[in-house]
Amino acid sequence: MEHVGKIIFYQEQKFRGDVYECSSDSPELSGHLSRCSSVRVKSGAWVLFERPNYLGDQYVLTRGEYPDYHHWMGNNDSIRSCHIIPSFSGTFRLCIFENPDFSGQMLECMEDINQLSDVWPPGAVHSAQVQDGSWIFYKHPDFRGRQYLLERGQYRRFGEWAAMEPTVGSLRRVRDI
């Protein structure tokens, strides 16, 4: 399956300095730029990683302009790899569970939830099944804090989506807007 997308990385803030254009997954960006201080997403939805080989903090970006790393909720100008998120136009579906291995209370989600604690009394998410689409888990309510991309598949434990703890404050569907 081919994913069409285009992202432009700039070494300096406000789209200045050295430039690198990308249209596919890239496990190592440091050969093109020593740092990334601004980004333009021309098409597609992308996840940027602070470390090579799709490791470290994640930042999900959709079409738009990000004149500095604060605009993508980044902590610094270190972007070392990127992954294009497959586009999806169907119905989004995600099931979250209070315990590992898909046990305990379950909640099925089909829409964004900006305050998970309003609809999820267990408080923590220990496992998840993404049945359709791609989703972003945010550590804090109102789509803030550390981000975790979950693509279609099963996540038996929170570590499988790269989280250090089962805290999920909000969740959002990834749509190429």
| DSSP reduced 3-state for 158 | helix
Q: Are 73 and 98 in a shared domain?
A: no
Residue 60 has a pLDDT of 93
| Residue 131, domain member (yes or no) | yes
| Residue 51, domain member (yes or no) | yes
Residue 2 has a pLDDT of 46
Give the chain's mean pLDDT: 93
**Stretch 150-170: mean pLDDT, rounded?**
96
**Stretch 40-60: mean pLDDT, rounded?**
94
User: CATH code at 62?
Assistant: 2.60.20.10
Long-range contacts of 114-118 (CB under 8 A, 24+ apart): 114/141, 114/142, 114/143, 114/170, 115/141, 115/142, 115/169, 115/170, 116/141, 116/168, 116/169, 116/170, 116/171, 117/141, 117/169
Count: domains in the chain? 2
Instruction: Write out the residue range of the structural domain in which residue 164 sits.
Output: 93-173
Tokens of 28: 């190592």
Distance of CA 27 to the CA centre of its chain: 16
| Residue 157, domain member (yes or no) | yes
Tens digits of residue pLDDT in 126-139: 999 999 999 999 99
Instruction: Point out the domain boundary residue: 52, 85, 118.
Output: 85
